[in-house]
Amino acid sequence: MDKGDQKMEQKIKNMAVALDFSEYSQSILDYAVHLARRTGSGISVIHIINKKAIDCVKRQFEMDHLEYFPYADYVAREKKRCASKMEALIKNSRADDTHFQTIIKDGVPSVEILKFLKEGETDFMVIGQKGRSDLPDFLTGGVCEKVFRHSPVPVLSLRLPKQ
């Protein structure tokens, strides 16, 4: 390893990894674990419960003529469900030697990820180019593209084959 590699690896103390629980999520996390082992960094695993999905459920409540949508209860249940998925992915990564922090928020994914990067102690980001949607990015607005363009830290965008 030359001095440039050593200098670069010393800069990464905590990396963020955005997961959407798509079929690519395990590969993305495994790649981040590999990088964390090389750099000695910790990993903040972040998932954003998409506000559009919550709004869709709320509209369904309204269409069914239910007067009250239990927003806080729904989000709490979703966060618990997401935490279980996140724990399973972390366990499957076999990274007992890596420090993990898990973050689950609700909102607009790109906005919340960028807010986390700007406010936190993160100095590197790993994100997948392809998520759960098969829609072209020009129709959906591509979370990865928005994060890539506006991130205050370097971003590694992964394009991985399906598992």
| pLDDT tier at 44, thresholds 50, 70, 90 | very high
Give the pLDDT of residue 140.
Answer: 41
Per residue in 121-153, pLDDT (tens digit) is 899 999 998 655 544 444 344 888 899 999 999
CATH number of 3-51+82-158: 3.40.50.620
In terms of pLDDT, which residue wins out, 57 or 109?
Answer: 109
Q: How far apart are CA 47 and CA 100, in angstroms?
A: 13
| pLDDT tier at 11, thresholds 50, 70, 90 | confident
Q: How far apart are CA 64 and CA 20, in angstroms?
A: 29
**Whether the Cβ atoms of residue 143 and residue 113 lie closer than 8 Å to each other:** yes
Answer yes or no: is pLDDT of 1 > 90.
no
Per residue in 49-106, pLDDT (tens digit) is 999 888 888 777 777 766 677 878 888 999 999 999 999 999 999 988 999 999 999 9
Domain residue spans in the chain? 3-51+82-158
Give the pLDDT of residue 105.
Answer: 96
Instruction: Strands of 57-142 (E only): list them.
Output: 100-107, 124-128
Q: How far apart are CA 50 and CA 108, in angstroms?
A: 6
Give the pLDDT of residue 8.
Answer: 52
